[in-house]
């Protein structure tokens, strides 16, 4: 206590007897002030540190704040343009609108789909706003022609988004779409492939079900056994993708990367065309019919297709109460491509180079590819774009109607890597034309040679533009 008093001055300084003359009044004032300070100081010495700190906190809280109030971000509306790919309205709401609004209340998303008057070329010609573009791998050639995909390399660094988080095959494909060092998009979801089959048709004719790791030859032979007619109903044995996707498992090139010459008459294309012709030469199987004949009419025994579309269809049928007894196994393969399925058709998120809100748009892309959103998407039957093999045990776990199905078959084969090239959109239309002739029974070599000649003319014409 004495030390505290000494800190204020000597005791003799406070003796009233030494105060005199005209200085008495002023000295009294000084004395009273010193006594007040001494009492506060003594309280601090006798009291606990917490008490002294409490006084300081109260005084601090009472003082007016000099900090500038935070200004909320300006509201912004971003146009989310679906150029190609599967994205139902309810999934757009669940995986984009809701999580984005939760994290960034100032961002509103406006959905625009490619359609009449809103095709990609229409949007570009009209100078319409596009901030984020949703696109499948098949639509990249046309997209690159517009120069819309923006390089997001720097945004990935500043926002600390690592490329290693994503599926390596899908990310590698995206990194190959721009010039070396560029990244023009993020994988949002992937399409797996499988062979789906109607158990009721196999049971009806007493034929054993398909099994994992069958070749196309084995599936074709199995198809012969279920290609039956019962009364007026003709049961089709097998529905496949068209020639373009069917051939992708063999990874044929569309053009020569050095000369840009089309390569539709290569041996890989000839093999794909021959197999497709054999499939559609089976009884009751003279054309590629709408998939509704498998799902709705239920007269197709086997359907080789992509998982995301199948799951979406089964969701709708389950809601409507129109499901049937079905199973799934691995996608059929070729002997020289054992263990290889169709390419992973990554549905990607692309930042538009014309966007005035690139940082906000990238923030939306980051939310949609966050672990929280991607994991929930996985549980709902969407293969995530993230590299998370440990989530496969949870795949479709929110969908009771898929319980007990051979879901592992989607992941048992390794995805092929497509080699489409920059003139894909110019060449693929001739593949589609060739498909109709091949299924109709025209000589495969002749059809592909004619398709190749037509594609060469189209490429030459485009280069002159």
Band (323; pLDDT cuts 50, 70, 90): confident
More reliable by pLDDT, 280 or 2 = 280
Q: What is the reported pLDDT for 68?
A: 52
Nearest to 243 by CA among 348, 342, 311, 143: 342
pLDDT digits (tens, 9 = 90+) for 103-138: 999 999 999 999 999 999 999 999 999 999 999 987
**pLDDT tops 80 at residue 45:** no
**pLDDT tops 60 at residue 99:** yes
Q: What is the reported pLDDT for 364?
A: 97
Q: What is the reported pLDDT for 71?
A: 60
**pLDDT tops 70 at residue 15:** no
More reliable by pLDDT, 177 or 22 = 177
Structural domains in the chain plus CATH codes: 76-191+344-415 (3.40.190.10), 194-341+423-464 (3.40.190.10)
- Whether 38 and 8 have beta carbons less than 8 Å apart is answered as yes
Region 349-365 average pLDDT: 97
Band (39; pLDDT cuts 50, 70, 90): very low
pLDDT digits (tens, 9 = 90+) for 142-159: 899 899 999 999 999 999
Strand 193-198 to 300-306 pairing? antiparallel
**pLDDT tops 50 at residue 11:** no
**pLDDT tops 60 at residue 372:** yes
CA separation for the pair 120, 147 (Å, rounded): 12
Band (428; pLDDT cuts 50, 70, 90): very high
Q: Is 64 left (phi over 0), alpha (psi -120 to 50) or beta?
A: beta
Q: What is the reported pLDDT for 70?
A: 56
More reliable by pLDDT, 68 or 271 = 271
Structure tokens at 283: 């009884």
Nearest to 317 by CA among 342, 287, 297, 289: 297
CA separation for the pair 445, 465 (Å, rounded): 31
Q: Is 162 left (phi over 0), alpha (psi -120 to 50) or beta?
A: beta
Q: What ranges make up the beta strands (E) of 94-242?
A: 107-113, 132-135, 186-190, 193-198, 229-230, 233-234, 236-239
Q: Please give the distance of CA 247 from its chain centroid, rounded to a whole number.
A: 24
pLDDT digits (tens, 9 = 90+) for 179-211: 889 999 999 999 899 999 999 999 999 999 999
CA separation for the pair 79, 327 (Å, rounded): 39
Q: What is the reported pLDDT for 21?
A: 42
């Amino acid at each position: 206590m004495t030390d505290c008093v000494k800190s204020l001055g000597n005791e003799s300084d406070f003796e009233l007897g030494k105060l005199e003359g005209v200085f008495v009044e002023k000295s009294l004032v000084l004395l009273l002030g010193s006594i007040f300070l001494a009492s506060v100081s003594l309280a601090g010495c006798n009291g606990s540190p917490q008490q002294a700190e409490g006084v300081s906190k109260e005084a601090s809280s009472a003082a007016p704040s000099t900090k500038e109030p935070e200004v909320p971000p300006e509201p912004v509306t971003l146009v989310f343009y679906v150029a190609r790919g599967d994205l139902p309205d309810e999934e757009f709401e669940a995986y984009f609108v809701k999580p984005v609004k939760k994290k960034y209340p100032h961002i509103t998303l406006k959905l625009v789909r490619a359609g009449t008057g809103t095709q990609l070329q229409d949007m570009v010609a009209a100078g319409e706003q596009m901030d984020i573009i949703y696109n499948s791998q098949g639509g990249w050639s046309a997209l690159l022609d517009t120069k819309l995909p923006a390089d997001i390399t720097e945004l990935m660094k500043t926002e600390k988004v690592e490329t290693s988080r994503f599926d390596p095959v899908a990310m590698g494909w995206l990194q190959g779409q721009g010039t070396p060092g560029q990244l023009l998009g993020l994988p949002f979801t992937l399409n797996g492939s499988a062979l789906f089959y109607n158990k009721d048709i196999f049971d009806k004719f007493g034929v054993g079900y398909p099994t994992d790791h069958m070749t196309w030859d084995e599936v074709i032979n199995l198809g012969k056994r279920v290609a039956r007619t019962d009364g007026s109903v003709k049961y089709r044995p097998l529905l496949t993708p068209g020639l373009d996707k069917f051939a992708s498992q063999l990874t044929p090139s569309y053009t020569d990367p050095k000369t840009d010459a089309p390569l539709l008459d290569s041996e890989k294309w000839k093999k794909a065309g021959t197999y497709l012709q054999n499939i559609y030469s089976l009884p009751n199987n003279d054309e590629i019919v709408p998939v509704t004949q498998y799902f709705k009419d239920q007269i197709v025994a086997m359907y080789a297709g992509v998982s995301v579309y199948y799951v979406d269809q089964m969701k709708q049928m389950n809601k409507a109460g129109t499901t049937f007894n079905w199973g799934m196994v691995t996608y059929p393969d070729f002997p020289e491509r054992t263990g290889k399925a169709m390419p992973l058709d990554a549905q990607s998120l692309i930042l538009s180079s014309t966007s005035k809100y690139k940082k906000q748009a990238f923030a939306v892309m980051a939310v949609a590819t966050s672990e929280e959103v991607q994991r929930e998407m996985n549980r709902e039957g969407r293969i995530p774009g993230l590299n998370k093999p440990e989530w496969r045990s949870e795949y479709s776990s929110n969908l009771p109607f898929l319980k007990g199905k051979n879901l592992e078959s989607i992941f048992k084969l390794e995805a092929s890597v497509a080699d489409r090239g920059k003139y894909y959109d110019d060449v693929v239309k001739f593949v589609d034309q060739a498909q109709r002739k091949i299924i109709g029974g025209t000589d495969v070599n002749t059809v592909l040679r004619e398709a190749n000649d037509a594609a060469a003319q189209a490429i030459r014409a485009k280069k002159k533009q």
